[in-house]
């Protein structure tokens, strides 16, 4: 099974959009969103979001591997967008950092019959040794902590306005 990791220097740069550009080029591939759940301190999101999404604080076990279509196929979510782009199967890992390796290993086992899987999320690259890794860069050259921790493992650096050519470059490197 081939593996691609899509990461970003900062939030909201278009990881999901790049995955959407890749999936039509990779027939039969699966996709997996990876969310590292870090408990909030003092009611503040560790990622700096003003509004909390509730995901991190609601995790009451080390990890959850979500595949329930009533959740995966919720309109306007990343996982819904993967399905609409042609993913053959979609998982969403929600995990505490210390349980991420186990969760990713289990997803890889469950997806072993697929030709490949695209993992979206910086924390996935801490665990995986993908065939291709890409990081979307921010225009202001800032890097969040999780991006800095995986930057040395990235093979392709991309700018948001070049997703189509980046997707083609990634496919050529598989």
Assigned CATH for 2-172: 3.40.50
- H or E element: which one contains 149? helix 145-150
pTM score of the predicted model: 0.89
- The domains of the chain are located at 2-172
**Paired strand residues for 34:** 93
Residue 173, pLDDT score: 86
5 phi, psi to nearest 5 deg: -115, 130
What is the per-residue pLDDT across 76-121, written as a single tens digit (0 to 9) for each?
999 999 999 999 999 999 998 999 999 999 999 999 999 999 999 9
């Amino acid at each position: 099974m081939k593996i691609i990791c899509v990461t970003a220097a900062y939030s909201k740069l278009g990881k999901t959009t790049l995955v959407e550009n890749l999936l039509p080029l990779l027939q039969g591939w699966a996709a997996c969103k990876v969310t590292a759940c870090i408990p909030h301190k003092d009611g503040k999101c560790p990622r700096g979001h003003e509004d909390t999404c509730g995901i991190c604080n609601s995790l009451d076990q080390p990890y959850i591997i979500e595949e329930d279509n009533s959740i995966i196929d919720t309109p306007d979510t990343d996982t819904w967008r993967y399905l609409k782009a042609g993913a053959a199967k979609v998982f969403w890992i929600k995990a505490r950092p210390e349980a991420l390796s186990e969760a990713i290993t289990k997803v890889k086992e469950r997806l072993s019959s697929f030709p490949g899987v695209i993992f979206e999320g910086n924390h996935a690259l801490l665990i995986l040794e993908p065939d291709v890794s890409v990081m979307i860069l921010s225009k202001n050259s800032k890097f969040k902590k999780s991006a800095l921790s995986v930057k040395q493992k990235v093979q392709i650096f991309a700018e948001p306005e070049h997703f189509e050519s980046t997707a083609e470059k990634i496919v050529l490197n598989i």
